[in-house]
Amino acid sequence: MDLDEDLKCEEHEAPYLICVLKSKKEKDHMACEIYAICPVDQKMETRSLDIPIEEIEKLNLPLADKIFRCEKCFREANIQDIAMEKKSVIIYLVCPEHGFLIERDISNDLYDGIRFAWDTKDQKLQKEYTV
Ligand SMILES: [Zn+2]
Ligand SMILES: [Zn+2]
């Protein structure tokens, strides 16, 4: 599964960022409803995506990479705050240049894995280099 293929703006050929990720667990896949935003004109689109259960672990980092970035300049954003809701986690991001960004709203089922992948990505990279 290639997220960059599934989540891109056809008009600008730009990779989408994810603002809202809602998931529902089905028998063998996660049915995801995504509000994606184009980094070129900040237009929102909805996409549905079925992620096979066995692929989720692999996709945590690629998903994180589309969540924790600025929708205007694509730089890594700082996590200012998070709020736990009943079904999802609201993430407040700040870009060093563009200030507060559109809130991210990530389904509880997926949040922990995605956040962990993002928080540990630098360690992982180092490990790959030393091996
Ligand atoms: Zn676009
Ligand atoms: Zn920015």
pTM above 0.95, yes or no: no
CA of 131 from ligand 2 middle (Å) equals: 34
Element (H, E) at 31: strand 29-37
Buried b (16+ CB within 10 A) or exposed e, 83-121: eeeeebbebbbebeeeeebbebbbbebbbebbbebbeeb
Domain boundaries, the chain: 3-130
pLDDT in tens, 54-75: 999 999 999 999 999 999 999 9
Do 85 and 66 meet the contact criterion of CB atoms below 8 Å apart?
Answer: no
Whose atoms come closest to the Cα of 42: which ligand?
Answer: 1
CA of 74 from ligand 2 middle (Å) equals: 6
User: What is the band of 1 on the pLDDT scale with cuts at 50, 70, 90?
Assistant: confident
User: What is the band of 123 on the pLDDT scale with cuts at 50, 70, 90?
Assistant: confident
Q: Between the CA atoms of 21, 14, 99 and 78, what dihedral angle is there, to the nearest 10 degrees?
A: 60
Task: Name the maximum alpha-carbon separation found in the chain.
Answer: 43
Hey, how many other C-beta atoms are within 10 angstroms of the C-beta on 28? 9
Whose atoms come closest to the Cα of 93: which ligand?
Answer: 2
User: What is the band of 125 on the pLDDT scale with cuts at 50, 70, 90?
Assistant: low
Which residues have C-beta under 5 Å from ligand 1, the single-atom ion?
Answer: 9, 11-12, 38, 40
